[in-house]
Structure 1
Amino acid sequence: MKNLELKSKCVNLEKLCLLMFELGAEYQKTMHQIDTYFNAPKGRLKLREIDGEIAQFVYYERADESAPRYSNYSIVEITDASGFKQMMMNALGVKAIVDKVRELWMYGNTRIHVDDVNGLGHFVELETVITNQTNTEAQAEHHLVKRALEIDAAEIVPVSYSDLILKSKDGQLPNN
């Protein structure tokens, strides 16, 4: 599967909510997610536990860039999260754990995530899923949402939450 994504620090949550409403984005749900990232030779590998009920094993590859970027990913549902997590910890070791509360909003094929990440703060993440459209159409929708939500280029975060967690533990939380 493939999507076009962008992450940004959210400096004004109230304004973001107003802009999503004005855009016509539709609220879907709020979830508690714990992402356990494992050491991987390439890409990123994580177990996502959602509300303590659903577990997904996710592999994705994405460039670390301060611009919208493509992400190729695969997701597999896991029925025994604790057993699977222990096996992966033994085999690969844990890189980082990201604990967040995520609000999911939708606009067309774009998922808008409003995340409150433990230890890092608030972020907005756009993921335009590329299914029955061209890359050009996906880029147009992605740009429209980015512009409507007034995402500031100075606030764009080029790396994953796991990388931010690791840098914050080293006392090197990036400015962007």
Structure 2
Amino acid sequence: MPSNVEIKAHLREPDFVRKKAQELSGNNTSEVLHQEDTFFHCPNGRLKLREFKEDPTKLSQLVFYDRPDTTGPKLSKFSVTESHHPDQLKSTLSLALGVKGIVKKTRTLIMVGQTRVHIDEVDRLGSFMELEVMMQPDQTTADGTKIADDLMEELGIQPSDLISCAYMDLILQNVEGN
């Protein structure tokens, strides 16, 4: 199963982080994605159907992932299946597992070496950043953690900015807290 070393952080200055990540990428390019993730109840890990709203011809992705809910760099194992039929897939999974919730976000994707830097504007939550160090077969978790730690420092991410859970969990916490 493929894996990433990941971190997620609340952003105080998304424009600064976006600009710095573009500088570090060496080519100043980025891709803007409008994503809608439907999360399903799942006994192990997390299961979501990702739809790309900016391009209805783009394949949707059914994504299973498993990672600990801890702050700081963490290993995430995942599996992705693409689909031409997101509506039918969503209907079937909803009937079988039930919908946990929906996360809508505008994501700016910037590649810095082997790391996907996501600058996210998440509906109902605000500005966040995710780093996904795409692990190579010959790399250890320690190698990925070092890459993530170094990039966090270059982007000015403080340990106090780190969050441990998924956006879906934060949305559910906000709903339950209100």
TM-score scaled by structure 2? Answer: 0.91
CA shift for structure 1 position 134:
1.2
Gaps spanning 5+ residues in structure 1: where? none
Identical-residue share of aligned pairs (%):
34
Aligned match of 1:98: 103
CA shift for structure 1 position 132:
4.1
Gaps spanning 5+ residues in structure 2: where? none
Distance of 2:43 and 2:132 partners within structure 1: 25
- Relative to structure 1, is the Cα distance of residues 13 and 116 closer, same or farther in structure 2, using a 3 angstrom cutoff? same
Post-superposition Cα deviations, 1:130-173, rounded to whole Å, max 9, x if no partner, equal 0244124322222221110011111111000110111111126x
Post-superposition Cα deviations, 1:8-39, rounded to whole Å, max 9, x if no partner, equal 00101222123223423553310100000000
Q: Among residues 158, 161, 164, which one is paired with 2:164 in the alignment?
A: 158
Structure 1 window deviating more from structure 2 (15-24 vs 34-43): it is 15-24
CA shift for structure 1 position 79:
1.4
Distance of 2:39 and 2:93 partners within structure 1: 10
Structure 1 window deviating more from structure 2 (135-144 vs 116-125): it is 135-144
- Corresponding position: 1:27 with 2:29: yes
SS at match of 2:104: strand
- Relative to structure 1, is the Cα distance of residues 56 and 24 closer, same or farther in structure 2, using a 3 angstrom cutoff? closer
Superposed, 1:27-176 pairs within 5 Å as 27-51=29-53, 52-53=56-57, 54-135=59-140, 136-171=142-177
Post-superposition Cα deviations, 1:31-66, rounded to whole Å, max 9, x if no partner, equal 100000000111000000012332000000000001
Q: Letter of the aligned partner of 1:104 in structure 2?
A: L
Aligned match of 2:4: 3
Structure 1 window deviating more from structure 2 (130-139 vs 91-100): it is 130-139
- Relative to structure 1, is the Cα distance of residues 24 and 77 closer, same or farther in structure 2, using a 3 angstrom cutoff? closer
Q: Letter of the aligned partner of 1:23 in structure 2?
A: L
Distance of 1:18 and 1:105 partners within structure 2: 10
SS at match of 1:145: helix
Structure 1 window deviating more from structure 2 (4-13 vs 50-59): it is 50-59
TM-score scaled by structure 1? Answer: 0.92
| Number of aligned residue pairs | 172
Aligned match of 1:17: 18
SS at match of 1:170: helix
